[in-house]
Amino acid sequence: MSYKVSIVIERDEHGYFAYCPELDGCHSREIVWTRLSRTCGKQSRSM
């Protein structure tokens, strides 16, 4: 079974912040973009 969810990515002076509005508790903060994309991928697959 597969699902489609939104991932919102914002950039600020500290790096990047990503969250998924459809999944409570699914969020991440990273300084480097490549790390953020890896972290979000792992979190979304584990839900």
Token pair of 6, please? Answer: 């939104």
Query: Does a structural domain hold residue 1?
Result: no
Query: Does a structural domain hold residue 13?
Result: yes
Query: Does a structural domain hold residue 21?
Result: yes
Query: Does a structural domain hold residue 3?
Result: no
Query: Does a structural domain hold residue 19?
Result: yes
pLDDT by 10s per residue, the chain, length 47: 777 888 888 998 888 888 888 888 887 887 776 776 676 666 555 55
pTM of the model: 0.63
Domain span at 26: 8-46
Look at residues 7, 6, 9 and name the one whose alpha carbon lies nearest to residue 30: 9
Query: Does a structural domain hold residue 36?
Result: yes
Structural domain count, the chain? 1
Buried b (16+ CB within 10 A) or exposed e, 17-45: ebbbeeeeebebebeeeeebbebbeebee
Q: d(Cα 35, Cα 42) in Å, to the nearest integer? A: 11
Token pair of 22, please? Answer: 């459809």
